[in-house]
Amino acid sequence: MIKAFTLLIFLTFLLSCHKEVEFPEAGFEVPTGTIKAGVPATFRNTSRNASAYEWDFGDSSTIVTSSEVEISHNFKIGGDFTVRLIAKSGGGSNGISKSVKVDDPDQPLPKAIFELNPAAECPAPCTVAITNSSINSTSYTWFFGDNTPVDTRELKLSRTFNDVRSYAITLIAKANGLPNDTLTKTLRVTAPQAEQPTAEFDISGENCTYNCDVTFTNRSVKGITYLWNFGDGSLSTDLSPKHNYKRAGAYNVILVTRNGSLTSMKKKVVQIYAKCKFTKQTRQHPISGNYEALFSYDTNDFPLRSTEIENEVSGAPVSRIINDYTYADGFLNGRQYSLSVRNNSQVVVEVSSGRFTHKYNADGLLSSTEILRTTVKDRNNPAGGSTISKSAFQYEYHANYNVSKVTVDGTVYSYSETGLLTSVNPSSENTGEVYTFKHQNFTKTYRVTKYIIANNRISEIEFTDNAKQKLEYDNEGQLIRKTFRDPALPFETSCVEEWKYDNQKNIDLLTRVYLGHPSYLAPEGVTVHNVTSYTKTIVRAGSVDETQANEVTAFTQYNSEGLPLKSNRFGGDNTYVYECNR
């Protein structure tokens, strides 16, 4: 009983709150008397229960939305027209139509007429020819897609539209004492139509010695934007740039020109020479004996062969190393080396050989390097003492032709578009990613698990067993300290290695020749680093447990180009010979 009573109260309340929907009823009154073209005619809206209205005067004019009770309309020509009003509300819509007769005007009214060529659409920059064919008019006002009026009596006009968008082009035709006539047309300006560009450029100032400016003159056709890659990691978007090369070598210079989505690439090689070529090194050591290295080059200063011979004090040969370089189309495609080692009885006890194979992609950029090494410890028993190792490098590039990724035996080095090192991901396949800690009779080997990058350099390396190695650099980017710690070792043992340098002299003994390699990767060539001392310290429980110090290189004499002539490298008397003909 209570439930029934409650339901009755709810229904009574619901019905009392219901409001009947009122549907619109359209209605209007036409003007009394004669309606004449060119003279405004006033219509009166008598609709009910409506909140919005649409008027269509039947003369091809724009439909008018108005909530005013009275609305005026100017018929341009005489004739019979059907005027329709649609009244709208939340309850729906209702329409009504009435016929009206319009008399011809006392004199011809202005009529706006114009044509566009192209008529409706064209790519930017779009130049449109406009022909004004209006009649019964004495003056004209134009709007070209903005609110700025342009008054002109010219009947043929030309207008260029640069922005990609739609433009409402409006003409208002006028005559004194008569109503204006307006005509609007829409012009759509699309994205520029791409034409196939052709990249081309000239070079001046090349074949100079390093630290020289080279000028590049752009001869491209139909290009809109340009991107230059100078082969040393530097980029430019200038039309015809100038670039300074700090080091000698052969550089891939690439120009990419774009027109819309279409591109064209042109590559040329710029040769920058060294003032001096390193041709000979000798060393005399009271214990290890004599050492001699000879270097030869082709006409482009590219290395052809290097030969190293180390002798006993008695003069008998102990080891001999030969490197031969081969080229194709100006690029290094291979290097072969051989090593033979003899014992005191002049019996060959070890023979090693290797081949470096370089391949290039369709753009002439280095795509891969394979290294195959074979070592025979005992020539009389090759099966029992031979080893074969293989390494592989793969190179990928950004759209600007700077290297984006280098994969070394599975380890991936990633670079930004401007050549900055951004990340290094280690690989279990890379046998080189190990660290061996040795102290007295203790030896432990660790594998790299993570690299941490800071300021474009590896700042810290994490290993297995939570071991870590911190790397520090000087302002020149040279490594000055490595600190290795393993918390699992007793007494918080650490190993600190430190290097000192002589930054006052240039001691690159063999010209670095890039030959298609990205400049920030290891180039071909032999370089004696300007390290003056090396120190290794083992610290246990906060105290120095072992110290190893070594004066690595002390250059004592230089030539006029700042290249070393003498040093005590490897504890011997070293002399360096150059050929300076540039």
Helix (H) or strand (E) run with residue 93 in it: strand 92-103
Please report, for residues 111, 171, 208, 524, the alpha-carbon distance to residue 297 in angstroms, rounded to integers and kept in the order given: 85, 77, 17, 13
DSSP designation for 109: P
- The pLDDT, as a whole number, for residue 447 is 94
Nearest to 276 by CA among 322, 210, 206, 205: 210
- The pLDDT, as a whole number, for residue 149 is 94
Nearest to 194 by CA among 266, 263, 121, 265: 263
Whole-number Å distance between alpha carbons of 577 and 559:
10
Please report, for residues 50, 159, 194, 200, 292, the alpha-carbon distance to residue 245 in angstroms, rounded to integers and kept in the order given: 80, 47, 35, 21, 32
Whole-number Å distance between alpha carbons of 126 and 191:
10
CA atoms within 13 A on the CB side of 257: 20
> What average pLDDT values come out for the chain (582 residues) when binned by 10 residues?
42 45 90 90 94 92 90 90 93 92 89 94 92 95 93 94 94 90 93 88 87 93 91 87 85 88 89 83 82 84 84 69 82 84 69 87 83 74 68 88 88 88 90 85 90 92 94 85 88 86 56 40 48 83 80 77 80 86 74
CB atoms within 10 A of CB 542: 8
- The pLDDT, as a whole number, for residue 581 is 76
DSSP track, 481-534: EEEEE-TTSTT--EEEEEEEE-TTS----S--B-TTS-TTSPPBS-----EEEE
User: Can you say whether residue 410 is alpha, beta or left, with left for phi > 0 and alpha for psi between -120 and 50 degrees?
Assistant: left
- The pLDDT, as a whole number, for residue 339 is 86
- The pLDDT, as a whole number, for residue 313 is 62
Domains of the chain, start order = 24-103 (2.60.40.10), 114-190 (2.60.40.10), 201-272 (2.60.40.10)
φ, ψ of residue 16 to 5 degrees: the values are -70, -25
- The pLDDT, as a whole number, for residue 144 is 95
Written as six digits, the tokens of 46 are 């008598």
- The pLDDT, as a whole number, for residue 340 is 83
Name the strands in the sheet holding 242-245, side by side, starting at the edge strand that comes first in the sequence. 201-204, 212-218, 242-245
> Is the omega angle on the peptide bond into residue 125 within 30 degrees of 0, that is, cis?
yes
Residue that the structure tokens 């214990």 belong to: 287
